Amino acid sequence: MPSSLQSLDFFQDSYELRIAQLKEERGKGIKIVGTFCLYVPDEIIFAAGADRIVLCGGKADTISVAEQSLPRNICPLIKSSFGAVVDAYCGGNLACSHVPLVDVVVAEATCDGKKKMYEILPDYLPTYVLDLPQKPGSPEALDYFLSELRKFGKFMERLTGNVVSNDALKREIGSANETRRLLHRLFELRRRDPPPIRGSEVLRVMQKQFFLSPDQFRQGVSRLCDEMKHATPDTRTGPRIMISGCPMAAGNTKVADIIEQKGGVIVVEESCTGTRSFWDLVDEDADPWKALAERYLEIPCACMTPNDQRVARIVDLAKQYDVRGVVYYTLQFCHAYNIERLRVQKALKKEKIPLLAIESDYGDSDLEQIGIRVDAFMEMIA
């Protein structure tokens, strides 16, 4: 099934441009921050006059290097990311994490695996860790996170020598919100039946969200939306599917590809490479620091407890996008998302929405096993 959307080429071609841009910035002394998670606010990095790229690994080839230092039974995203740092080798392929371009890593205290991996990172790269409250629902948690964000702001000021002013922050909040609104527009178009774009295509776009510069990314998404408005939709009529779960970092499209091969039509992804990254906007009228703290603590990540808002969001999205089934995707050994599956499944069951759980890594050895489950699931919901 060929895609007719020409503007997707923009994202393919943007790669070289972006690398060149980062190199040029470094030459001018602009600091480049590497990130691994949605909880690190872009707004603060940009307000300090720095740039950023995401370092999350989605490919298997750096895992064996990582396993020389890390236990085997941790999530492949952590191993792949760490391996890329250890290798510090930029082969110029699309999923390369570009570690050598980065001045500093801004990490976050989320899952145990990442937290402990970040303790080893300073052997390779300067690393700053942003702390997070784990029970985000209280005013105290908000206060604490606010103080953490301010500390992070100070860190960025020391790193860059620039002041993170309220005005700069407000400007960046406006910019990030613009990106979020644009992504809402993209995802809104996918509610059509049949949708004008394939899920795997959107995934590949979303994997670039924190790699490209905001300008570049918006340019691409906005072209895409314009083209989609007039695009002849995909003629396939398979069941509408939602993916929910762990992030699918650049290089990892395995499960989305299988679902589409088996005739599923992916219409929405509840993940960090999906709705979690842009769904909530930052309040532009409030105090910028407070507004940031509030918005970022709302991210429904399974590292938080209790994560009721995620369960509710999934049910809500499943209805909004009129899906016939949910594929609950987890990375192997990701306890947070694996355990949370049960609550999600129960909530969906109440709404009579079937769920297929798939736990996988970055290897190819389980393609057949995933295929049979997806086949059976498609037959079940057909």
Partner 1 sequence: MISVGIDAGAATTKVLLFQDGEIMGYRIASTAFDFVTAAGKMFEAILASCNIGKKEVGNVYATGYGRNSISFADKSISEITAHARGVSFLFPEVRGIIDVGGQDSKVIAIEDGKVVEFLMNDKCAAGTGKFLEYTAKALEVPINDLGELALASRHPAGITSMCTVFAESEVISLRARGITKEDIAAGLIAGIAQRVAVMAKRMGLKEDVAFVGGVAKNGGMRAALEKELGVTLYVPFEPQITGALGAAIAAQGNR
Residues contributing to the site for partner 1 (CB under 8 A): 354, 366, 368-369, 372-373, 375-376, 379-380
Calculate the CA 207 to chain-centre distance: 7
- Contacted by 110, from ligand SF4, partner 1, none: CB < 5 to 8 Å by type: ligand SF4
121 touches ligand SF4 (CB under 6 A): no
Phi, psi angle pair for 203, to nearest 5°: -55, -45
- Could you give the CA distance from residue 89 to residue 309 in angstroms, rounded to a whole number? 39
The minimum distance between CB 53 and ligand SF4, in angstroms, equals: 14
Give the number of other Cβ atoms within 10 Å of residue 290's Cβ.
14
114 touches ligand SF4 (CB under 6 A): yes
Pick from 253, 249, 257: nearest CA to 207? 249
The minimum distance between CB 272 and ligand SF4, in angstroms, equals: 4
Stretch that binds ligand SF4, among 72-80, 134-142, 215-223, 348-356 (CB under 6 A): 72-80
Q: Could you say which of 99, 334, 347, 378 contacts ligand SF4 (CB under 6 A)?
A: 334
Q: Could you say which of 83, 136, 247, 251 contacts ligand SF4 (CB under 6 A)?
A: 247
- Contacted by 366, from ligand SF4, partner 1, none: CB < 5 to 8 Å by type: partner 1
Which one, 82 or 333, has the nearer CB to partner 1? 333
Q: In 171-299, where do the E strands start and end?
A: 240-245, 265-270
Which one, 88 or 376, has the nearer CB to partner 1? 376
Is 133 buried (19+), middle (13-18) or exposed (0-12) by CB count in 10 A?
middle
Which one, 287 or 366, has the nearer CB to partner 1? 366
Helices 254-261 and 367-381, axial angle in degrees (round to 10):
50
The minimum distance between CB 325 and partner 1, in angstroms, equals: 11
331 touches ligand SF4 (CB under 6 A): yes
Distances (CA, A) of 244 to 52, 255, 270, 311, 329: 26, 11, 4, 10, 6
